[in-house]
């Protein structure tokens, strides 16, 4: 209880704010942790930064994204007419010849939005890049905290809609994986190292997508009695198993999608030929 003349916590610690207000105990030390709490956010920030740099380069490269029969997941579906000059076979030319930028930019907004608004990635980049907070029991340096109640962070609430888009994207990448069972002459019944790369990637993409917290709520939320909805309860249980590994799947699928793209890049740029199993 203050008398009105005593300094508040914020005044006692003028360089701090946020959680250092109100009823928090007046502890002079910034935090009491003695472990290497900074390691996890530092590694997270480095990993995310590496992916951002790589994906930005590839998205704007506008080349080496198709090596028969594989199309890079960064460029699929290829919706611009200009894709036809680089990808054999039909494209859905929803965007005509007027689209002069990289076709990847048309489609990447959906998987990017899905990951940017993901509950796990939010925690990861809030901690890694904004130190908000940097770790458990370590006060954040910001003066104010408004959570996700104002623009632009209030847009995080549209995550569920990005989940719907992510389902469509995963379906398209599944189609691409089926097409990967052709050879370079488009004959069916073949398999190469690229097919394997695409298979691993699509399994991880689906596992990450279905482990989404929004997915878990969609299949099992807003029910009063699971006993009256046994099918939804079963589905909720399955999604729960994946959901418990959401962080792991977030990183594994991020790595696999980058590797699948890089594999196509290596083939398309002529670094080596796709080893064929049969």
Name the site residues for ligand FES (rule: CB under 6 A): 118-120, 159, 163, 212-214, 246
Shortest CB 119 distance to ligand FES, Å: 4
- State the nearest-atom distance from the C-beta of 254 to ligand FES, in Å: 11
Q: Are 73 and 258 in contact (CB under 8 A)?
A: no
- As given in the structure block, the two tokens for residue 183 are 């050879």
Q: How far is CA 131 from the centre of its chain?
A: 20
Q: Which residue has the tokens 């910001």?
A: 142
**Tokens coding 204:** 């991880």
Are the CB atoms for 17 and 10 separated by under 8 Å?
Answer: yes
Q: Where are the beta strands (DSSP E) in the chain?
A: 66-67, 70-71
Contact in structure between 189 and 79 (CB atoms under 8 Å): no
Neighbouring C-beta atoms of residue 256, cutoff 10 Å: 20
Nearest CA to 144 among 13, 20, 38? 20
Closest to 257 (Cα-Cα) out of 182, 181, 197: 197
Cβ atoms of residues 62 and 102 within 8 Å: yes
Residue 152 contacts by C-beta under 8 Å, 6 or more apart in sequence? none
Q: Which of 266, 265, 271, 255 is nearest to 65 (CA)?
A: 265
Give the total residue count for the chain.
278
Beta carbon of residue 122, minimum distance to ligand FES (angstroms, whole number): 8
Nearer to ligand FES, 111 or 192 (CB): 111
Q: Give the span between the Cα atoms of 22 and 18, in whole angstroms.
A: 9
């Amino acid at each position: 209880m203050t008398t009105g003349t005593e300094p508040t916590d914020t005044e006692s610690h003028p360089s701090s704010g946020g959680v250092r207000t109100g009823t928090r105990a007046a502890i002079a030390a910034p935090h009491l942790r003695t472990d290497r709490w900074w390691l996890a956010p530092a590694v997270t920030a480095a990993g995310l930064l590496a992916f951002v740099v790589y994906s930005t380069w590839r998205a704007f490269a506008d080349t080496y994204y198709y090596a028969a029969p594989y199309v890079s997941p960064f460029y699929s579906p290829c919706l611009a007419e200009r894709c036809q000059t680089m990808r054999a076979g039909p494209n859905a030319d929803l965007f005509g010849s007027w689209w002069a930028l990289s076709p990847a930019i048309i489609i990447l907004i959906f998987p990017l939005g899905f990951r940017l608004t993901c509950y796990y990635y939010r925690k990861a980049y809030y901690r890694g890049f904004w130190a908000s907070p940097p770790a458990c029991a370590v006060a954040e340096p910001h003066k104010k905290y408004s959570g996700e109640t104002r623009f632009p962070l209030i847009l995080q609430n549209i995550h569920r809609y990005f989940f719907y888009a992510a389902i469509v994207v995963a379906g398209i990448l599944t189609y691409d994986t089926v097409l990967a069972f052709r050879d370079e002459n488009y004959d069916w019944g073949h398999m190469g190292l690229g097919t394997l790369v695409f298979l691993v990637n699509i399994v991880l993409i689906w596992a990450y997508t279905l482990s989404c917290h929004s997915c878990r709520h969609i299949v099992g939320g807003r029910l009063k009695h699971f006993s009256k909805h046994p099918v939804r309860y079963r589905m909720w249980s399955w999604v729960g198993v994946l959901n418990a590994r959401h962080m792991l799947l977030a990183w594994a699928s991020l790595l696999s999608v980058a590797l699948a793209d890089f594999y196509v890049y290596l083939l398309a740029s002529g670094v080596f030929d796709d080893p064929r199993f049969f």
